[in-house]
Amino acid sequence: MDRRQKKTRAAIFSAFTSLLAEKSYSKITVQEIIDSANVGRTTFYAHFETKDDLLKELCEELVAHIVSSAMDCTLYSDGNVPESVFCHLLRHLRENYNNIIGLLSCESSEIFLRFFKDSLNGLVLSQLVNQDRKSHVDIPQDFLINHISGSFVEMVLWWIKGRMKQTPADLDSYFRAVIEPILSTRETSDSA
Amino acid sequence: MDRRQKKTRAAIFSAFTSLLAEKSYSKITVQEIIDSANVGRTTFYAHFETKDDLLKELCEELVAHIVSSAMDCTLYSDGNVPESVFCHLLRHLRENYNNIIGLLSCESSEIFLRFFKDSLNGLVLSQLVNQDRKSHVDIPQDFLINHISGSFVEMVLWWIKGRMKQTPADLDSYFRAVIEPILSTRETSDSA
DNA sequence: AATAAAAGAAAACAAAGTGTTTTTTATCAA
DNA sequence: TTGATAAAAAACACTTTGTTTTCTTTTATT
């Protein structure tokens, strides 16, 4: 890819991210983005079909970055429980806060977190399989996966809205406290 | 309120709801709403400041209806556990499906469910207090409340996206299975 | 350094949508 | 009936979008 293209793309992403920190997605215009990024109108539309497309690509890039890093970290997991992954995700979210502050502010966070949850489903599934958890007798596996990634995302939303007062480690321990009791209530056939 | 006003307001709500069943909120124009509702442009703006305002009012009306009905039902709760309330909410959601099908479809469901979650927080809090649950030693109460209403909302989202295959009773039992273990892990001082 | 190819800038454009104003007509409640 | 209120219709200024055209700059390659 051409240097100019990379520069333009980065400038647009950066401008967009800054704008998202100020106002909600729906109130941002393409004009504001290109003014802030210092690129021409034609240039913007050469890179992105629409504003929606820009948002989608930004979300995908960020989520891929965060989740893939968490995926890697599960490789090291020495038979340990999944808390490491969740803590890892939280730390990553906080570290990248400055980059993604916009997406994590007000209304717009919903959009990002929806992408995030979709990626999380895969991560949670692999965690469950990795740990060889017997699936709960009464609860369908897809319900369980949705419950775990769904409540993780809701926790992140709550965390952000509360201005991230808790540390990732605190949150991780709370989260484990509400999730592990369900996982340990497994089929009694092998624990008796 | 004038009969004409009531009629107009109802026509706009109805048209808007139908349109939401077809396409996402952001793609609906005021022109489409007034064409579908058979009201003049001026009339629309006499009733609602903007399209966002219309959405907000619709969400508020629906959520108030559903949640207040659940609030009432807790009055009868004869010392029983909160499952009755959640099951009640689920049944209500399904019964009103035809009225609110639009808000519960695709992207737009997010918007509705965010309103829903806010109202739910109050309901969950009153449930916890009602039941006189000792608060968990390790988990802050607001974390717990957010976890419960958050995962309820995520469950509803999952339910809707999966075309509501499960019965409210099924879902209620799954939900209790993932929530009650947390609540029963209460302060050991009074169970020992 | 010279050059062809690619990328970007600037300006103008049609089309669509928003929210307001003005005028006229219909409906309500008393 | 009558004054007051609500709604309709049409025109409006304005904003935003996405495209087109023309021209300039930057890049990689020779």
- Poorest-pLDDT segment among A109-123, A156-170, B92-106: B92-106
Averaged pLDDT, B117-140: 82
Per residue in A25-37, pLDDT tens?
999 999 999 999 9
Residue B70, classed as helix, strand or coil, is helix
Nearest to A123 by CA among A172, A68, A169: A68
Is residue B107 scored above 90 in pLDDT?
no
CB atoms near residue A25 (< 10 Å): 22
Total number of residues shown for chain A = 192
Residues B68-93 have a mean pLDDT of 73
Q: What percent of chain A has pLDDT over 70?
A: 88
Per-residue model confidence as pLDDT tens digits over B26-41: 999 999 999 999 999 9
| CB atoms closer than 10 angstroms to residue A41 | 12
Where is average pLDDT lowest: B47-51, B90-94, B145-149? B90-94
Residue A186 has pLDDT above 60, yes or no: no
Residue type, A111: I
The pLDDT value recorded for residue A192 is 30
pLDDT digit string, tens, across residues A154-181? 999 999 889 899 999 999 999 999 999 9
Q: Is the pLDDT of residue B124 over 60?
A: yes
- Which of A13-17, A125-129, B162-166 is predicted least confidently? A125-129
- CB of B4 under 7 A from strand C? yes
CA distances from A95 to A113, B63, B87, B107, B142 (A): 16, 36, 40, 29, 24
**Helices (H), ranges, B77-167:** 83-95, 97-100, 108-130, 141-161
Residue A77 pLDDT exceeds 60: no
Taking the Cβ of residue B178 and every Cβ of chain A, the question of whether any pair is shorter than 8 Å is answered with yes
pLDDT at B83: 52
- Taking contacts as CB-CB distances below 8 angstroms, the residues of chain B near A143 are 155, 158, 174
Average pLDDT, chain B: 86
Higher-scoring residue by pLDDT: A191, B44: B44
How far is B114 from B146, CA to CA, in rounded Å? 12
Q: How many Cβ atoms from other residues are within 10 Å of residue A139's Cβ?
A: 17
Q: Tell me whether residues B181 and A182 touch, CB distance under 8 A.
A: yes
B3 CB neighbours strand C below 7 A: yes
Structure tokens at A179: 């999730």
Residue B100 CA and nucleotide D8 C1' are separated, in Å, by 29
Are A90 and A168 in contact by the 8 Å Cβ rule? The answer is yes
CA of A30 to C1' of D8 (A): 35
